[in-house]
Amino acid sequence: MVRSSLSDASTPRPALSGAEVADVMAAAHAMADAAREAVLPWFRAAGLAAENKDAGGFDPVTQADRAAELAMRAVLAQRRPADAIIGEEFGATPGTSGLTWVLDPVDGTRAFLSGTPTWGVLIGLADAHGPVFGIIDQPYIGERFWGGFGQAGMTGPMGPRDLRVRGARPLSESILFTTFPEVGTAEEAARFRAVAERVKLVRYGMDCYAYALLAAGQIDLVIEAGLSNYDVQAPIAVIAAAGGIVTDWQGCPAHQGGRILAAAGAEQHAAALEILREVPA
């Protein structure tokens, strides 16, 4: 879960009222709208520059990442100034409400730089127990997936609809996604391959869009490693609201990132977990 020191949430906060739920959901969608407006002018733009945040590899950040996060923070400053914020680009801002927004302004910057529409804007909201609401927004194709507080839905070119995962099915009939074929360390990659050998179909390179597709009932499993809290909190909320399961590779809560196993049903989750948990915690 989000660190309590950021939001003074060391003790459980009362459940939100109906009016509070409506307010935080409206704020989340306003943030997604603001991020769309800020980020789209940079997508497939000539001369988009990227800085590398990883001296040992390639972890890019662009003007789009910073513009989108600043746009979301501006919405929160106006609408919900008492909430805490954790953002990938501008760090942590303390709050007093017991709620923390966890923001990834462009999840999939490598995809963004490559011109593929599998990146997205991630907006998560957490209380002392973990994520309670999330949005996965893909501005270029106009799809938005959201879930929490007993609701899950999406909008896009084909109109609005409810979100619901596919449900339980055997591993041999499952579709598995991940972003990088390497999947973390050599040992983690070996465990991923052991699952991949048992499923019907494996696809790569989807970033946060894979989690959206799982929530929308298109695929069965997403397996990744080395993620941060801002990578997973929004997807966890959306998938849980759509009836799915997200844990780490030991079957424990994954709110702080690390190794992620997201599943559309208990059968796929249990079968994949049996293989993945052989990697030491």
Domain boundaries, the chain: 4-162, 171-276
Rounded Cα gap, residues 18 and 115, in angstroms: 40
Give the pairing type, strands 100-107 and 84-87: parallel
The neighbour count for residue 178, using CB atoms within 10 Å, is: 25
Residue 171 in contact with residue 195, Cβ under 8 Å? yes
pLDDT at 184: 87
Count of other CB atoms within 10 angstroms of residue 62: 21
The per-residue pLDDT for range 223-250, each reduced to its tens digit, is 999 999 999 999 999 999 999 999 999 9
Pair 73, 31: CB distance under 8 Å: no
Q: Stretch 190-207: mean pLDDT, rounded?
A: 96
Q: pTM for the whole thing?
A: 0.92
- The per-residue pLDDT for range 169-180, each reduced to its tens digit, is 999 999 999 998
196 pLDDT more than 50: yes
Q: What DSSP line would sit under 145-162, residue for residue?
A: EEEETTEEEEESTT--EE
DSSP annotation of 16: P
Q: 7: Cβ–Cβ under 8 A, 6 or more apart, which residues?
A: 83, 84, 94, 95, 96, 97, 98, 99, 100, 128
User: Domain 171-276 maps to which CATH number in 3.30.360.10, 1.10.3720.10, 3.40.50.360, 3.40.190.80?
Assistant: 3.40.190.80
pLDDT of residue 57: 58
**248, 277 Cβ separation under 8 angstroms:** no
Order the strands of the 258-263 sheet from edge to edge: 201-204, 175-178, 221-227, 258-263, 245-247
When comparing pLDDT for 164 and 280, which is higher?
A: 164
Architecture of domain 4-162: 2-Layer Sandwich (3.30)
pLDDT at 130 over 80: yes
Cα 211–chain centre separation: 7
Residue 212 has pLDDT above 80, yes or no: yes
Summary mean pLDDT of the chain = 91
Q: Which of 2-16, 110-124, 168-182, 251-265 has the lowest mean pLDDT?
A: 2-16
Burial class (CB in 10 A: 0-12, 13-18, 19+), 179: buried
* pLDDT at 33 (0 to 100): 98
**Tokens for 228?**
């941060």
Characterise 270 by phi-psi region: left (phi > 0), alpha (psi -120 to 50), beta (else).
Answer: alpha
Q: Which of 6-15, 181-190, 200-209 has the lowest mean pLDDT?
A: 6-15
Region 22-33 average pLDDT: 98
